[in-house]
Structure 1
Amino acid sequence: MSAPLGRRRADLLPYALVAPLTLFIVALALVPAAVTIVQSFYRVQELNPPVAFNGLDNFRRLFSDDAVLSSMGNTALYTVIGVVLSTVLGIGMAVALQRGFRGRSVVVALLVLPWALPGVVEGIVWTGIWDSNTGLLNSVLTSVHLIEHYQVYLGQDRLLTIFAIELVHVWQITPLSALLVLAALQNIPGELYEAARLDGCSPLSAFLRVTLPLARPGIAIAMVQALIATLNVFDQPYVLNGAASTGASVTMQTYFISFQNLDFGEGYALSLVVTLATLVLSYLIVKLVYRSVEF
């Protein structure tokens, strides 16, 4: 005997509600991803038609290109600095916000502001700090006699350039890390801290033995989002340092290859390399850091 019409409609309702979002994801995420994978094995050059299959040639040219290799090294430094700093600062901010206090909501709102700003805007704002002629940092340092002459922070020394640019990026991504860790801390029962205090644990010991282990799910998610953001950093290096190789990231190089050289096949290949690196490193972070927590 067939089910009543009303019941069948009720059974189909969840699928009908999810269908628009599913189509949206397929159209804007899965289809472009599939095109990227396929086209990365083809020669797709607007100035050299037609499109032709060339196997791994795009990847061979990538790993023999000094500009690409330099951008990979830069991005590795961006990633290490960004993930470490944003995670450490995010944990510190989350612990500071864990207990309620007057004005906490205002502090959280101010904390979110850098994350809400577009990367281009942040790059322009920080240009006023790093500028070698009129920058705020040079003005302050000369005023307190820590330096005698204005210094150039961007574009000359590679490590200094990367560190200065990544500080701007860390300023953007740390608020989200703090909120993710804070969400994990809010789930920790207060009784555990009380039991630790009765057992003679110092605040530092309670942080190491209670807070960190139980916040690992939030910390893992914060590290993954910081990893994804730093591996795909574009706005801050481009605004602050232009096309200079001292600070160029992999995504900048993807843009140069695809839209300046009009070599979309090689651009697709580099995008695929970044995607695979993101997936592998994210998996490693989850395996090493994430732990299921039960209270």
Structure 2
Amino acid sequence: MSLTRSATPGPGLTAEARPTAPVRRRGRRFDPLPYLLVAPVAIFIVGLALIPAVFTVVQSFFKVNPLDPPTRFTGLGNFRALLADDAVIGSLGNTAFYVVVGVTLSTVLGIAMAVLLQRPFRGRSLVIAVLILPWALPGVVEGILWTGIFDPNAGLINSIVTQVGQIFGTGAGGTTLLLGQNRLLTISLIELVQVWQITPLSVLLILAALQLIPGELYEAAEIDGCTRWGAFRRITLPLARPGIAVCMVQAVIATLNVFDQPYVLNGAAATGSSITMQTYFISFQDLDFGQGYALSLMITVVTLIISLVVVRTIYRRVEL
């Protein structure tokens, strides 16, 4: 007679003493598909953005001029030479005007037009489609179009100035030269063209933010006796701040790097030149690539600083 041990624990066997089967954890398998899908974009960004950016930073501290070889380290020499250049200082003043006026006008017009387009109406899609056209056109094409408008012989603006001069007896002739003579007038007209280009994008960005505002908030405000202006100040503006911040950042980037409009409308004249134009002149006309790299680095740093200030000042997270 043989004795066998029962697999069922007896009454005296505690639960801790019961044998348990080992738990087998499944290892997480490595899936290369997401990385393969992202790899082309990552390589593209590194190849066309990060590598040139690093190269620009390094070369900005060197004297790089094919007419004055060899390439040699100058430290901050390129930056000191730029800050002592009258043409660069003048273009900095013009660019500051472009930024202040362009960002202000495009933001104010963007808010006003977005509020008008906030509520659906017949033909709104057509209005938005037409509104996008100035933004969709290249800057060179816009400059050529506005060159005809500012033409001193047959331009529309020139005709209006002439008629106003005749009405008020100022004696304005038929060949009033609007661009290139007076610095303030020149940069004002050039920035008018750029505002015409960048405002549509500002409208779309702010309009997208307005579409996220629930209509119930306006209904509740109306029931409480809030006027339209009060609803605009207390509901629309606070809840649209994320879109307004993005709108202002894109306007800052566009105005700080303006090149097409002043170059096409006013050529190389100092009355309307921008800091980006000076980068082109220094690099490809003077062939001083070291100073060109340094000026590009300065523009990039200033753009980042101003954009950061705008975001920290205007942007607020909205939770509905």
Give the TM bin, normalised by the shorter chain: over 0.9
Instruction: For residue 140 of structure 1, report the CA deviation from its aligned partner.
Output: 3.0
| Aligned match of 1:48 | 68
- Corresponding residue number in structure 2 for 1:159: 184
Q: Root-mean-square deviation (CA), in Å? A: 1.5
| Residue identity opposite 2:34 in structure 1 | P
The 2-side partners of 1:18 and 1:205 are apart by: 47
Residue of structure 2 equivalent to 1:119? 139
Code of the residue aligned with 2:304 in structure 1: it is L
In the alignment, structure 1 residue 268 sits paired with structure 2 residue 289: no
Aligned residues: 292
Q: What residue number does 2:281 align with? A: 256
Q: Mapping of 1:128-207 within 5 angstroms?
A: 128-143=148-163, 145-146=166-167, 148-150=172-174, 151-207=176-232
The letter for the 2-side match of 1:149 is G
> In structure 1, what is the Cα distance between the partners aligned to 2:304 and 2:160?
42
Q: Which of 34, 37, 40 is the equivalent residue of 2:54?
A: 34
Distance, in Å, in 2 between the alignment partners of 1:155 and 1:279 is 31
Provide, for residues 227-268 of structure 1, a one-character-per-residue CA deviation record: whole Å limited to 9, x for no partner: 000000000000000000000000000000000000000000
Equivalent in 11, 29, 36 of residue 8 of structure 1: 29
From 79, 91, 95, the equivalent of 2:115 is 95
What is the match of residue 86 of structure 2?
A: 66
Counterpart-to-counterpart distance in 1, 2:92 and 2:228: 41
Offset at residue 139 of structure 1 (A)? 1.4
**Alignment gaps of 5+ in structure 2:** 1-23
How far residue 137 of structure 1 moved from its aligned partner, in angstroms, is 1.0
Given residue 179 of structure 1, which amino acid in structure 2 is its aligned partner?
Answer: L
TM-aligned CA deviation for residue 142 of structure 1: 3.0
Task: Write the deviation string for residues 192-219 of structure 1: whole angstroms up to 9, x where unpaired.
Answer: 1111111111111111111001000000
1:24 pairs, out of 24, 44, 47, with: 44
Kindly provide the amino acid, as one letter, of the partner of residue 244 in structure 2: I
Distance in 2 separating the partners of 1:131 and 1:107? 29
Greater CA drift, 261-270 or 147-156:
147-156
Q: Where in structure 1 are there 5+ consecutive unaligned residues?
A: none
Q: Tell me the SS of whatever aligns to 1:253.
A: helix
What percentage of residue pairs aligned between the two structures are identical? 67
Counting helix residues as a fraction of each chain, which structure ranks higher? 1
**Alpha-carbon shift at residue 68 of structure 1 (Å):** 0.4
Find the aligned partners of 2:71 and 2:318 in 1 and give their Cα distance.
Answer: 52
Inter-partner Cα distance in structure 1 for 2:45 and 2:82: 30
Matched, 1:86 2:106: yes
Q: Distance in 1 between matches of 2:88 and 2:29?
A: 56
Pair 8,71 (structure 1): closer, same or farther in 2 beyond 3 Å:
same
Q: Which amino acid aligns with 1:208?
A: R
C-alpha distance in structure 1 between counterparts of 2:33 and 2:125, whole Å: 38
